[in-house]
Amino acid sequence: MKIYGDTISPFVRMCLVAAHECGLAGKLEHVKEAVKPTLANPKLTALSALGKIPILETDHHHPIYDSRVIIEYLAHVAGNKTLIPDDGVKRFRILTLLALGQGLADVCVAYRYETAMRPQGSQWADWIARTEQRINAAMDDMNSNWQAELADVTAGTIAAAVALAYIDFRLPAFKWRDTRPRLSAFHEKFSTRESMLKTALAAG
């Protein structure tokens, strides 16, 4: 299997962390492919009309995306039943935490595009303010309402941990730890996992 993308993308990193947690990292070749929001990458658009990363190419050359589907595929291939549990109540709680973590990453990437890549003078102040609120609200929710789920290693906690690491790396002005001690403790512990260390942004 191959996975296309750059670890700086939180969505790519979520998949790489999931691969480690499933014991599949050794079977997944990481093909580094960068993206720009205003330029199509022909290698990627040949695999996915959307041209976004990550894209996984199976051993039978079928493209799979997006990151949520790739994580589910990896868990399926590994026979892993803990990343996305089968049990109804637990399953949908974890999938909702996954949506929260991926949604947080999504707005953070959009915020970065708007504030660091869009030409000065074309930036939309109201959108920036609303997006800051959204980022803070998502982290407040994680800190207040997900304590039980944050104790386990699941697709949900992988998404949360990687989204927070992206904020540390790209949007450090958020200083999110100060008012969120439970989320901070979760992240500190989760970041020591081998899956996180092996995919650390500094590790390339």
Ligand X SMILES: N[C@@H](CCC(=O)N[C@@H](CS)C(=O)NCC(=O)O)C(=O)O
- Closer Cβ to ligand X, 158 or 180, answer by number: 158
Q: Which of 25, 35, 83, 100 binds ligand X (CB under 6 A)?
A: 35
Q: Pick the piece of the chain touching ligand X (CB under 6 A) from 47-55, 86-94, 168-176, 184-192.
A: 47-55
> What is the C-alpha to C-alpha distance for residues 53 and 80, in angstroms, rounded to an integer?
24
- Contact between 199 and ligand X by CB under 6 A: the answer reads no
Among the listed residues 4, 11, 111, 186, the single contact to ligand X using CB under 6 A: 11
Q: How far apart are the first and last CA of the chain?
A: 20
CB distance 161 to 187 below 8 Å? yes
Residues 91-120 that bind ligand X (CB under 6 A): 102, 109
Please tell me whether residue 190 binds ligand X under the rule CB under 6 A.
no
What's the closest the beta carbon of residue 141 comes to ligand X, in angstroms?
19
The Cα–Cα gap between 203 and 7 comes to 9
Q: At a CB cut-off of 8 Å and minimum separation 6, what does 63 contact?
A: 47, 48, 55, 56, 57
* Contact between 31 and 17 (Cβ < 8 Å): no
A 10 A CB-CB count for 125 gives: 7
9 binds ligand X (CB under 6 A): yes
Minimal distance, residue 53 CB to ligand X, in Å? 4
Nearer to ligand X, 148 or 203 (CB): 203
By CB under 6 A, which span of 63-71, 87-95, 131-139, 179-187 interacts with ligand X? 63-71
Give dist(CA 169, CA 20) in Å, integer: 21
* Closest CB 15 distance from ligand X, rounded Å: 8
Closest CA to 139 of 97, 191, 200: 97
Pick the binder of ligand X from 57, 66, 140, 141 (CB under 6 A): 66
Which positions touch ligand X (CB under 6 A)? Answer: 9, 11, 35, 37, 51-54, 65-68, 102, 109
